[in-house]
């Protein structure tokens, strides 16, 4: 593959990556009770753009849709009424599993051809 074709392929893959994300409603795990294992997934409303996973002491877990701009210790602590906690906000579908963040399958599928195109471009 020539250099010109590599740039075209790379450009198309970048456009595809952007289009795959647009118009997509985020899915997060969401459980009412603060338990470690949460298997209930929901589609977040449009104003919630991230998933939240909180581990509060002693052993309480929160999984829910969240606004990324409110992803800070003080806001989360006040909202949940928890003084000691660790939290993470993420922006991929079902990324707030109790084991931590993981890339979605769609992201992985887009990343592999993107890396292959970049590899061919520089060979």
Domains of the chain: total: 1
- Residue-wise pLDDT for 104-114, tens only, equals 455 555 667 76
The total of other beta-carbon atoms located within 10 Å of residue 118's CB is 14
Considering only CA atoms, which of 49, 85, 83 is closest in space to residue 67? 49
- Mean confidence (pLDDT) of the chain: 81
CATH value at residue 102: 2.10.60.10
First to last CA, the chain: 9
Boundaries of domain holding 20: 3-121
pTM here is 0.63
């Amino acid at each position: 593959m020539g250099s010109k074709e590599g740039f075209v392929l790379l450009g198309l893959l970048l456009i595809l990556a952007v289009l795959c994300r647009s118009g997509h409603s985020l899915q997060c795990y969401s459980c009412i009770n603060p338990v470690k294992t949460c298997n209930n997934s929901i589609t977040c409303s449009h104003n919630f753009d991230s998933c939240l996973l909180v581990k509060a002491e002693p052993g309480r877990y929160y999984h829910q849709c969240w606004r990324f701009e409110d992803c800070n210790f003080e806001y989360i602590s006040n909202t949940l009424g928890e003084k000691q906690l660790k939290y993470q906000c993420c922006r991929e579908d079902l990324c707030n599993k109790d084991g931590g963040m993981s890339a979605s399958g769609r992201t992985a599928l887009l990343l592999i051809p993107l890396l292959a195109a970049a590899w061919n471009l520089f060979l």
